[in-house]
Amino acid sequence: SGEALVPEAAWWRTERRQQLLALGAQATPRYVYHLPTVRHQARELKTLAAVDRLHYAVKANTHPDILRALAEEGFGFECVSPGELKAVMAAVPESAPLLFTPNFAPREDYAWALNTRATVSLDSLYPMAHWGELFRGREIVLRIDLGRGLGHHEKVRTGGSGSKFGLPVESIDAFLKLADAHGVIVRGLHAHLGSGILDEAHWGEVYSQLASLAERIGSVAFIDIGGGLGVPSHPGEARLDIAALDRVLREVKAAYPHYKLWMEPGRYLVADAGVLLARVTQQKGKGALRYLGIDTGMNSLIRPALYEAWHEIVNLTRLDEPVTGLFQIVGPICESGDVLGTDRRLPEPQEGDVMLIAQAGAYGKVMSSEYNMRDAAEEIIID
């Protein structure tokens, strides 16, 4: 894999630190997104010569400025709901390709999406068996369950019999029979096994498995190998090596040159571009532990509570001061799970200090809630 993560080089540590301190002093909680980082990540993925089309998985972050920046970089957009499709259509030019890949969606969602310019994906026999007329004469994408899942946590693995996603391989023939009866053409094959994957070989395996299935279907023109490109979250984890990923993909492409290759990354584009700013509220010593309270918690960022995800947390006000203790970073929400970070080594904090929770650009704001009727974090773009 590629070079190790160098947290010292993060944009929020260096040139934007004073600006972030000022933003945090004005009001918190605030999500701040750094557009140059989004563009940087986008341009890195555009070096994947094997990939013919990149769709941004909008679910990771739906901020309109981010959607626009990625449209400018030539990305299409993968959407999972009419709401996401509408947000994208309102923000980006009409020329941007759209992909609609819902799961267990109601009939009306498909009916609505079929009247947009989006390419629609199905991952179950049910819509074809019960709503076949809706799809008559259409070209669709079929999402396959390759029988296994992968990812940073059990809850983000989207393959295998324990997951609700995808058509099992053994049902493909039944699907094709139904499709044929309604004049529906399977133009694309799709798989997405999970999120937060740091092994380049994974996408090559998915690609060759889908390509060999495509060979027996006949009508397939493109293969979508999903997203799931991880970013290191623990210091010391290695970054994905994009050049190595390209080599893996080019090898498969050499064997199946007749299919266009699509990918749909979310996290990779936006995770490192976003931080959550909060301010210190109170401290409490309890037994051996020191709790450090900040003015937002699982209501703004649920990933630690839901996946035990690790986000780097720093005291931005005292970034250069020596570490004095070990802290449990907690929010104001009435749940014991409202912990943003455990056992963090930090300088001596004071009420009002601006704390920064890193790598919050993906699946942060979009998964936030109004729990306890706490104010929602605002979103600020810096460019």
**Applying CB under 6 A, which residues contact ligand LLP?**
57, 59-60, 78, 101, 156, 158, 192, 195-196, 226-229, 264-268, 303, 307, 363
State how far the Cα of 59 lies from the Cα of 266, in Å rounded to an integer.
Answer: 7
Distance of closest approach, residue 80 Cβ to ligand LLP, in angstroms: 7
State how far the Cα of 198 lies from the Cα of 101, in Å rounded to an integer.
Answer: 23
Distance of closest approach, residue 194 Cβ to ligand LLP, in angstroms: 7
Taking residue 40's Cβ as centre, other Cβ atoms within 10 Å add up to 14
Nearer to ligand LLP, 23 or 273 (CB): 273
**Residues contacting 12, CB < 8 A, separation 6+:** 20, 32, 34, 275, 316, 356, 358
340 SS3 class? strand
Distance of closest approach, residue 99 Cβ to ligand LLP, in angstroms: 9
Nearest to 352 by CA among 31, 24, 17: 24
3-class DSSP string for 277-330: EEEEEEEEEECCEEEEEECCCCCCCCHHHHHCCCCCEEEHHHCCCCCCEEEEEE
State how far the Cα of 363 lies from the Cα of 355, in Å rounded to an integer.
Answer: 19
Nearer to ligand LLP, 175 or 327 (CB): 175
Nearer to ligand LLP, 60 or 211 (CB): 60
- To the nearest 10 degrees (0 to 180), the angle between helices 172-181 and 201-217 is 50
Distance of closest approach, residue 19 Cβ to ligand LLP, in angstroms: 26
Nearer to ligand LLP, 60 or 298 (CB): 60
Distance of closest approach, residue 142 Cβ to ligand LLP, in angstroms: 13
Nearer to ligand LLP, 24 or 265 (CB): 265
Cα 328 vs. chain centroid, distance in angstroms?
Answer: 27
Catalytic residues: 334
State how far the Cα of 143 lies from the Cα of 117, in Å rounded to an integer.
Answer: 19
Distance of closest approach, residue 159 Cβ to ligand LLP, in angstroms: 11
344 SS3 class? strand
The continuous run of DSSP H or E covering 33 comes out as strand 30-34
Nearer to ligand LLP, 240 or 292 (CB): 240
Cα 11 vs. chain centroid, distance in angstroms?
Answer: 20
Nearest to 341 by CA among 375, 318, 314: 314
